[in-house]
Each structure stands twice: as C-alpha cells, then as structure tokens.
Amino acid sequence: MSDVPHYNMFIDGQWVEGSSVWGVKEPSTGETCATVAYGGVSYTDRAIEAATRAHTEGVWRKKTPAERADVLDRIHQILSAKVEDLAHLVASENGATVRCATAFHVGVALGSLKYFADQTRVYEFRKANEPTQLPLPAQGYIHRDPVGVVGAILPFNFPLVLGIWKIGPALAAGNTIVVKPDENTPQTLLEFAKAAEEAGLPPGVFNVVLGDGEAVGGRLAEHPGIRKIAFTGSTEVGKIVMRGAASNVKKVTLELGGKGPSIILDDANLDLAVRGSLFAFLMYNGQVCESGTRTFVPRALYDDVVQLMVEATKTLKIGDPHDPDTDFGPIIDQEAVDRIQQMVAHAVEQGATVAYRGALDLDEKFRGGTWVAPVILSNVTNEMDIARNEAFGPVGVVIPYDTVEEAIEMANDSEYGLAAGVWGGDEERAIDVASQLEAGTVWVNDWHMFPLTGPFGGFKQSGLGRELGAHAFDEYTEEKYIHVAANQDLQQRAYGLLFGHS
C-alpha cells in the first residue's frame, strides 16, 4: 500500500496520526486507493477541545462577516483549481462516474461554497427592530450569534457536497467545527482541510476526525461541548444521533432517508418523463437519499412506460467510473450489494416481476469490485417492502394507478418525505399535484436539481431542519434579542409594580 496516498487527521491546525490505519477501498476494483489515520473517542475529544478553545478565544467569530467570506472565497479558489483531481478522487473512493463526480459531487459542492461565501456578506447577523412604545418606549435589536462548536457527521455518498452544506454556513456564521467523514470516502474532506489550511483558516476552527461511526459520531452527538450537530445518513442512525443530542439539548439538523415518489401524469411528455424517472433512481448508481424510487404510472400507460424504461436502461454503459463514456458505476461495498440483492429477491417473493435486470459484463480488472446492475420491478404494490423501505441502490419500482387522487394518496403513504416529483404537460395541473405531496422538495418535470436558493430537507422521518436557501445560516446561529430602554427616566419604568410604596 506504499504506492497509494496517505492522509492524517486534521486537528487544531495539525496533521495528526491515529491509533491505526484504515484502507480506503476502490469499489470498482476492491483495491486500496488510499490509507488514512484512524482515531476514536480520544481524538474526537482532542478536536472538540481545540474547537472550543478557538471559539472561546474568538479568533474566528470576532472577524467581520466580510473577512470570513474572504477566507471561504480563498478555499473555493484553491479547490476550483483541482476540479479534475477531485473528480477522480470521487470516482476512486465513491465509485461515481467521472461525469457524475465532476457535475454533482464536485461541481455542486464548489458552487455551494461560493454561494455561502456570498451569503455571508448579505446575511443579517444584526438587525434593528422598529422602535416600540409598548409596554414602554424602547429600541430592540436582533443578533444572530454563532452557536459555538458544531459537529458534522457525513455519509459516504456525497461527502464534499453534504460536507460543504454544513461547513459553509457553520464557518460563515462564526462557529468552529469538527467533521466526521464516512470512513469509506474521506479524501475530499481531507483535501478541503488542506485548502482551509492554505487559505489561512485559524487553527482549531476546522477539524477532521476519522474513525468508526459509532465511536466518533456517537461522541460528537453526545458531547456537551458540541452545541449543534448536523447529520446526513439513514433514518435509523439519525434517531441514534438525536437521542445522543437530547442528553444535553443541542441544536440538531437531520437529513435522513427517503423513498421518493415520481408521478407520471397522463399528459406527460413520455420521453422526458421516462428518462427523467430513470435518472431519478439511477443517478450515482442509485445511492442518493432523495432518489425517486417509486414511479407511479396511469394504468392505461403502464405497459408502455415499463417497456420504454427497460429499453432506455439497456443503453447504459456499465464499467470503469474513470472512463468519461461510462454511465453507471459500482456500489459502495459488499454489505450494500448483499442488502440490495436480498431486497430484490424478497420483492419477487412478494409478487413483483423483474422487468429488467442489467448484465454485468465487466473487464477482469473490475471483477473484484462491488457491483449491482440496474433493476426495474413491475407488478409492485405500494404495500410491498420494496416500495416502503430504502434500498439505496439502483432499484426502481413501477406502480400503476387509476386516478390522480389515488397516486397522491399512495405517494404520501410513507414514513419518508424527503423528495418527490411530478411529470406533466399542463404545468398548473402538475404544480397542483406537487402542492399535495408530503415532501421537502418536489420537482416538476425534473429531478436531482438543487438551486442553492431553495431550502432542502425532509418531512416526517426524512429529517429535521433545512440546508441551503436564504435561511441556511439560521440553523447555525442562536437568535438573541437586545432590548434598549428609550431613556433613563425612572418614572418610565415598570419598577413601580415592585416599589409602589416608595
């Protein structure tokens, strides 16, 4: 493993060795593509202590918003010069195709960082209220102060994007932060640490700790020194994080699982709707929390849509994620492969039909990797396990409906509510259907698009709070009200209620 890059953890402005070394596997081949220092609770505590000290000293929070924005801009500039290298890191450790990595994993991440830098200059950290006369003349001021030390726990699938969606507003608001990447995909966050160091971010303000999720993530969730936890991952683990955070009542943002419904209306452009619905559940090999994995189709169009989906999926090229011509890559690890295959098998046992299962005709180099070809299941009902639980892989189910009201009812019949989509020719009608769907994001004739001005988050068990949008910084600040009496006249005070006899 001497010919692969090695990364240490980044704590208090220093690159720190761990108690052991973790090998990062390339999903497409099964080979080690990097090694990283691996820590645990003691390293997490060390990072929290550094972040706490930096916050207390005020080396970052006392800078003006413009000064903080300038540092974020410098980080953005440094990373923007490395787009191609970052995309190939993603293709290696994530298994995303290099096209997907460039556009989404890296492109969206850097666009988001620039957006947060720009927002730092215009966000109202201080705002004067209108003077009031009741109960007595006074002037009020609303301050939005940094919460303190933020803990960020990230999943494997979009580490840089989802990392920046937390790091950006946290740093912009003047907080310090400890980041825990997924052990399978840490490299882009460590590259961010290099850029932060080069850009002049003060020691202790930004820290990266690597290690087991239960140990490092659990410690971040429960540690009393962490005043805000931001987590993206499964609903099951999100509940554990929430319980840990409850022990000392810290602020929490949770972006959790999904089982997105994609409703094709009877007046939809079928070319657009079919390819869009496939993109909805196959982008990044199906490993996206807001994927559209349930496609609802009018019964009269059902057979035609299934066939069109099958024919379009057959054209996808599966193979080397580093090849720009590749459309579809591997799954993150063998545990995920086993889970996906078991869920498909169980769906068939419950009565589903495999309308299509892609073939894996791979070069010998990739036969040690972890692969699942795209699967389309027909004859699925909304009550089947495959329609209710998140496979987190390239599995889409197609469900018929008789009325739009029935489609909406089935779409909302889920404990998840992260994202949904509607495909239709009549835009007003499609928007009306979208307005009835219980999801934090609803696309009309599109999917996986994230304008940075739009808030992102889930209904129901898909999470708490929102990322992106004009109010993203609200999640990383505490609102303080400062009341200033209009004068110093003792007679114009409520003190008389207490000292009425004098």
User: φ and ψ at 298, to 5 degrees?
Assistant: -55, 140
Does position 2 have pLDDT exceeding 70, yes or no? no
pLDDT of residue 491: 79
Q: Which CATH superfamily is domain 6-256+462-482 in?
A: Aldehyde Dehydrogenase; Chain A, domain 1 (3.40.605.10)
Rg (CA), the chain: 25
Report the alpha-carbon distance of residue 121 to residue 45 in Å, rounded. Answer: 32
In this chain, the answer to whether the domains covering 6-256+462-482 and 261-444 adopt an identical fold is no
DSSP string, 94-156: T---HHHIIIIIIIIHHHHHHHHHHHHHHS-SEEEPPPB-SSSSEEEEEEEEE-SEEEEE--S
Q: What is the mean pLDDT of residues 131-159?
A: 95
Domain extent listing, the chain: 6-256+462-482, 261-444
Does position 395 have pLDDT exceeding 80, yes or no? yes
pLDDT of residue 498: 76
Catalytic residue among 289, 390, 438, 467: 289
User: Dihedral through CA 462, CA 464, CA 465, CA 467, nearest 10?
Assistant: -40
Give Cβ neighbours of residue 297 (< 8 Å, ≥ 6 apart): 264, 305, 306, 398, 399, 400, 401
Residue 204: left (phi > 0), alpha (psi -120 to 50), or beta?
left
The per-residue pLDDT for range 42-76, each reduced to its tens digit, is 999 999 999 999 999 999 999 999 999 999 999 99
**Helix, coil or strand: residue 215:** helix
**Token pair 């090999």: residue:** 285
Residue 255 a catalytic site member: yes
List beta partners, residue 25.
32
Q: Which of 185, 157, 389, 426 is nearest to 283 (CA)?
A: 157
Give Cβ neighbours of residue 288 (< 8 Å, ≥ 6 apart): 157, 158, 448
Q: How many CA atoms lie within 13 A of 348 on its CB side?
A: 13
Give Cβ neighbours of residue 342 (< 8 Å, ≥ 6 apart): none
Note if the bond before 135 is cis, omega within 30 degrees. Answer: yes
The per-residue pLDDT for range 9-25, each reduced to its tens digit, is 999 999 999 999 999 99
DSSP string, 450-486: --TTS-B--EETTEES-BSSTTGGGGGEEEEEEEEES
The per-residue pLDDT for range 258-296, each reduced to its tens digit, is 999 999 999 999 999 999 999 999 999 999 999 999 999
The per-residue pLDDT for range 417-472, each reduced to its tens digit, is 999 999 999 999 999 999 999 999 999 999 999 999 999 999 999 999 999 998 99
Report the alpha-carbon distance of residue 215 to residue 337 in Å, rounded. Answer: 25
First-to-last CA distance in the chain? 84
Q: How many CA atoms lie within 13 A of 17 on its CB side?
A: 3
Which fold is adopted by the domain 261-444? Aldehyde Dehydrogenase; Chain A, domain 2 (3.40.309)
pLDDT of residue 181: 98
pLDDT of residue 487: 87
